[in-house]
Chain A
Amino acid sequence: MVIGLETHVELSTRSKIFCSCGGHSAAKEPNDCVCPACSGMPGMLPVMNKRVVELAVTAGLMLNCDINRYTTFDKKNYYYPDLPCAYQITQLNHPICTNGCVTLKTASGERDIHIKQIHMEEDAGKLVHIGRASYIDFNRTSVPLIEIVTQPDFRSAEEVLVYLNKLKSMFRSGGISECEEGAMRCDVNISVRPEGSTEYGVRTEIKNMASFEAIERAIRYEAQRHIDAIEFETEKLVQETRRFDDVSGKTFAMRNKETEADYRYFPDANLMPVIIDDAWLEEIKAAKPVAVDEKADFYREAGISEKEIEMLIHNHKVSETLDKVVSLGCDAKNAAGWLLTDCAGILRKNGKLLGDLEICPEDLAAIIKMVDNGQVNRMSGRKILTAVIETGADPVAYCKENALDARVDISTIESVMDNVFKENAKAVEDYKNGKVKAKQALFGACMKALKNTADTAVIRELLEDKLNRC
């Protein structure tokens, strides 16, 4: 099975690609976000949204592409009521990114998927059919998209899904796209060939699928159809465009009329070539969020376990909190423990999930530092964290109000310890007689007497010392 993918991703920009209308997500009612430009009225001219270029370049950098410093727009002609100008502005001759590569980790090992190109384009509107009437909603018209075109490098539906999930988490963490339902659409090119063969078989294209589940089912169905055609001569395969029917789970050939159109591409003279100079590229690079892979490597180096890395990569908000806490001077592995064990545990107790975590990174960093420098012990730290998560308490104030400070002076500890020794004379006796466990009981009694706030290491040391002396 040989598969190539064309993935359209809606970009998270505040405004549309060539006008100042709000993006798709800003619309509440049909035709809320429409102006003379994106409804195709004469007189309006497209003006390039700089942010679209920056997000497309960021996506290209994440997918290890060459960034083309000179990039131009073309017009693609076709008639459809949801396309107000009867042409779509896209990039044919000089796309913004080319020659990328992304490595997938799948059950069957690693595979490199080569990216042929990434180009920018505008989306079309939406038709709503009610009874015999059709209505047009132009909210989505001119919403910016990038289309990522791969080489035919996939060999299974599983690889396709790993790739799509990877794009999704990359683009979400990179602020490129929310990738919510419908904001990521795929065209799948598929062919099959006998094992060991290097020639490609007859290729078909399945157009415009919006859910990963549909994509997987479509690939499995289509591959089987090809195999049946070749092995059992059920039908003659032809190169064609097909659509996947979600209900029947089958693919159907689209009418020729819809697929054999000559789009008469030509350069758009209303848009000057976009030139990306060194300074701008450096600016975009500097603002680029760390890619998922680089992030995972960073966590790995910090000694965080693979399981925890998985948790972090899939919980973008949590990993962002972690990064912030680390930038505030905390150790990454330690902080990851606080987040994935302590925070997660507290949330679970409250019937919530890790994804629900709402904590100000500064508060968490403050707690971790209080523990690390011995101001409070680990147990008190967790107590403060619980208060912060459950009631939004201020860590420093909470510590003070509840007298959790571990820095009690030695003389206080010694007098407390004297009392404990008196009250637990039997345990002291047991220890002297070689019953090592008795030391633990004495330790517990000391901690209890000090309301569990003391620095455990200090208590252990003093206790050891005192026992040795008696």
Chain B
Amino acid sequence: MNAYTIQLSDKGTIAVDDTILVKGVQAGAGSRILEGFKPLFSAEAVTRLENKGYIISGKTHVGEFGLDLAGEFSYYGEKEEELGGAAARLVSEGTVKAAIGVDLNGSPRRCAALSGIDFLKPTYGTVSRYGIISCAASGEQMGVYAGNVEGIKEIMDVIAGHDEKDGTSLKEESYDYSTGIAVAGKKVCIVRELLENAEEDVRRHVEAYGEQLRKNGVVVEEVSCDIFDTANTAWQILMTAETCNNVSRYDGVKFGYRAAEYRNIDELYVNTRTEGFNFLTKAVILYGSDVLSKNRYDACYGKSLKVRRVVAEKFEELMKGYDAVLTPVCSKTAYRAYDIREAFEKVFRESVFTSMANLIGIPALVSGKVQLMGKQFSESVLLSLAGIAERVGE
């Protein structure tokens, strides 16, 4: 082994979800429609990691376009009985130091919770979206899977910061991801309505986590707040609409999968997309085009844009009294394989815990199988709170 490789492996290996581009490596986003597509460039985050000496060890399977619960519906991956997501599993087994993935509708957060590792969906605009297979520009965000908060901090310090190639990227060059700020006296609330959406053992787990924080001087209170259901509906409308629009470019004309049989351009489109997308993506496309259609726009999409503003205000109001919100990530402790025809409903229901962070661009940290959310740019508070609990666990 020469000095060069020692130096590189000192930094560690990183797995990259298949919704993120690595130059020359097939990028499928878990979908047949992108079969054979090799990108000409790497995502900004990938380039930054490589420049710092990290090794990209490979691509990890994701559910088609990251739309599913926890990576269960990849065209390429193997079917598994108990869901958990490939990247989260590699991190929890210690095969890779960390992984990066795109949080479109909570899938990486659920994967992290199921595997018992950490995932941070940072504040919108802090990590460049250049080079992710985009579905919903207004709320998707790249984040980091790692074994603990220090691992999250290490990778976030590398990938976060302004990128001129992304028009939505914020101007700051770096952000604070401290994991050790004092938490005594910080106030955390548990939202009653979200607890009620989870099964008994999940509820008890969240309460126990709160107890752990309390022992460290954190004030933990239960509150009632009814905006999470509304936020979920709004995000599902915006997310499906934007996804429907963004995947319309996969038409068999330019790259990726093309149907073998067609007699004209319409059949080329229809056959390619019929064969290329899975049932869940098709449901999302149908739902998304419906909410954008002329007669439904005002009642659905337009309304959701307004709801987004109102929810953001209400969340800010809630956060006047608290530093973080503590919630479940999934309604149950494990998911079993299920029929894809139930997927749309199931994802909709489970996203009630995760949609808020996508809708209003706030950070959400999954750690110890719970979720901590806070105001924009409050990552260091979330990481420090989770850090206390993690160190107790050790």
Contacts and interface: CB of A to CB of B under 8 A. Distances in A.
Interface of A: 36, 39-48, 75, 77, 79, 81, 84-87, 136, 262, 264-272
B293 interface: yes
A77 B165 CA distance: 24
Contacts of B248: 77, 79, 85-87
A-B pairs, 3 with minimum CB distance: A269-B138, A86-B248, A269-B137
B320 interface: no
A271 B167 contact: yes
25 contacts: A36-B39, A39-B254, A42-B34, A42-B39, A43-B21, A43-B39, A43-B43, A45-B165, A77-B248, A77-B292, A79-B269, A81-B251, A81-B265, A86-B245, A86-B248, A86-B249, A264-B289, A266-B241, A266-B245, A267-B305, A268-B137, A269-B242, A270-B134, A271-B167, A272-B167
Interface string B321-348: 0000000000000000000000000000
Given A48-B167, A264-B292, A266-B241, A42 B27 contact: yes
A84 B249 contact: yes
Interface string B155-180: 00000000011111000000000000
A85 B254 CA distance: 10
Contacts of B130: 43-45
Nearest to B248: A86
Contacts of B305: 267
Nearest to A19: B165
B247 to A, nearest CB: 9
Query: Size class of B's contact patch?
Result: 35 or more
Given A86-B249, A266-B292, A45 B254 contact: no
Contacts of A84: 249, 254
Given A45-B168, A265-B292, 13 more contacts: A42-B21, A43-B130, A45-B167, A79-B251, A81-B251, A86-B251, A87-B249, A262-B293, A264-B289, A264-B294, A266-B241, A266-B292, A270-B137
Chain A residues touching B, majority SS: loop
Among B27, B164, B251, B269: residue with most chain A CB under 10 A = B251
B168 A272 contact: yes
A295 B224 CA distance: 68
Contact of A45 (B27, B134, B269): B134
Contacts of A45: 129-130, 134, 137, 165-168
Given A42-B134, A87-B245, A270 B251 contact: no
A272 B124 CA distance: 13
Interface of B: 21, 27, 29, 34, 37, 39-41, 43, 129-134, 136-138, 164-168, 241-242, 245, 248-249, 251, 253-255, 265, 269, 289, 292-294, 297, 301, 305
B233 to A, nearest CB: 17
Contacts of A46: 167
Contacts of B168: 45, 269-270, 272
Given A45-B134, A270-B137, A40 B249 contact: yes
B255 to A, nearest CB: 7
A254 B251 CA distance: 24
B232 to A, nearest CB: 19
A268 B241 CA distance: 11
A47 B292 contact: no
A48 B169 CA distance: 13
Nearest to A263: B294
Most buried by B among A39, A264, A270, A271: A264
A426 to B, nearest CB: 88
Contacts of B167: 45-48, 270-272
Given A42-B21, A43-B21, A270-B168, A85 B293 contact: no
